Amino acid sequence: MSQANIPNITPDISVTKQQSLHLLLSSVALNELAFSHLINAEAEKLQAFVAFTNEATCLETRDFIQMNKAVSTLMEDLTLSQWLNLKKLDRTIALLSEEHFEENCEE
């Protein structure tokens, strides 16, 4: 087996501290949007399940337990992701505050 050939890439990206903080805020906002879409999709899934249960005659308790477990697992995962997103937002805001303070002191 031979080693993979990785090209020498030296990207020239120049982003200021303020631009990087704005990009971080944008990523937090996009994560929040993604969370809202996931929660909405889960709600629609539950609505479809409830509609199905109204028409079905052969559902058992385990079907409800499985659905509940699936929803609970997703909501727990989203809660953890929300917490991480909140920490990211808190730290970004702190950095923005420091930057604003530094700008005011330089004048």
Give the separation between CA 29 and CA 102, rounded to whole angstroms.
25
Q: Considering only CA atoms, which of 72, 81, 77 is closest in space to residue 33?
A: 81
pLDDT in tens, 5-32: 777 778 788 989 899 999 999 999 999 9
pLDDT in tens, 27-55: 999 999 999 999 999 999 999 999 998 88
Could you tell me the two tokens for 11? Answer: 């990207």
CB 35 within 8 A of CB 81: yes
- Beta-strand runs (E) in the chain: none
